[in-house]
Structure 1
Amino acid sequence: MARILLVEDNEMNRDMLSRRLIRNGHEVTMAVDGEEAVTRAHSDLPDLVLMDIGLPGIDGCEATRRIRATERIAQLPIIALTAHAMTGDRDRALDAGCDDFDTKPVDIQRLLGKIDALLLPKR
């Protein structure tokens, strides 16, 4: 079981994804914007972050850069989530420091595979 920080501003997406992650044995905490994501990454010390890119305030790319800039949490695995499936969006998220990228609507089995792939080396 992993502790996952789910960063998502859309309530329906947050609810659906958190329930599916919990059903698959994960513990989930949530943030609704980039500032809260950085704060919760510091305070909760999750095993992995699912980062929506299109957030209000500071976006997911900037939140990722801020997490990467802090030594204590710089190595957190981060998977970018976005409804934008353009190559440039993927590149922008990876350039900001995300470890992987997935699109919405989320295919839960594909996402669980990506989560496992990032967490297996830590276990």
Structure 2
Amino acid sequence: MTKRVLIVEDNELNLKLFCDLLRAHAYECEPVRDGREAVERARAFAPDLVIMDIQLPHVSGLELIETLKADAVLKAIPIMAVTAYAARSDEDRIRGAGAEAYVSKPISVTRFVDSVAALV
């Protein structure tokens, strides 16, 4: 059965890269460019994993993680944060918000795909 991944990323190049990588590894992807649509799209798409940029316009990725984890239906879906924030304190803050995994940008393709596979 194909695993489904919701990708919340406002940067078009990163969004295309993530979708292309995951589709090449037989994942079904649902891109979301605006974080304000993420919760509704997660409910409609029912992903096995959410990949979340932290620096989003209009709403913080941290806020979205907390919102997803507070939702009775969505809280069990693992979240992998992908961000340019690379300090240890940033990772602690992101995991504290509820993300199960953290990958820093620029991504390592192998680490990215391995992290996704470990979560789904």
TM-score by shorter chain over 0.5: yes
Shift >4 Å, 4+ stretches:
none
- One-letter code of the match for 2:19? S
Gaps of 5+ in 2: none
Separation in structure 2 between the aligned mates of residue 71 and residue 108 of structure 1, nearest angstrom: 32
Determine if contact 2:21/2:113 at 8 Å carries over to the other structure.
no
Could you tell me which residue of structure 2 aligns to residue 37 of structure 1?
38
Could you tell me which residue of structure 2 aligns to residue 27 of structure 1?
28
Q: How does 1:45-84 map to 2 (within 5 A)?
A: 45-84=46-85
1:58-105 Cα distance to aligned partner (Å, 9 max, x none): 111100111111111111010000012111211111011000100111
Matched position secondary structure for 2:50: strand
Determine if contact 2:53/2:61 at 8 Å carries over to the other structure.
yes
Separation in structure 2 between the aligned mates of residue 23 and residue 5 of structure 1, nearest angstrom: 16
Matched position secondary structure for 1:29: strand
Could you tell me which residue of structure 1 aligns to residue 14 of structure 2?
13
Matched position secondary structure for 1:76: coil
Matched position secondary structure for 1:41: helix
C-alpha deviation, 1:34, in angstroms: 2.1
Determine if contact 1:78/1:99 at 8 Å carries over to the other structure.
yes
- One-letter code of the match for 2:71? T
Gaps of 5+ in 1: none
Matched, 1:2 2:13: no
Matched position secondary structure for 1:102: strand
Matched position secondary structure for 1:106: coil
Determine if contact 1:34/1:62 at 8 Å carries over to the other structure.
no
Q: Report sequence identity in percent.
A: 38
Could you tell me which residue of structure 2 aligns to residue 98 of structure 1?
99
C-alpha deviation, 1:33, in angstroms: 2.6
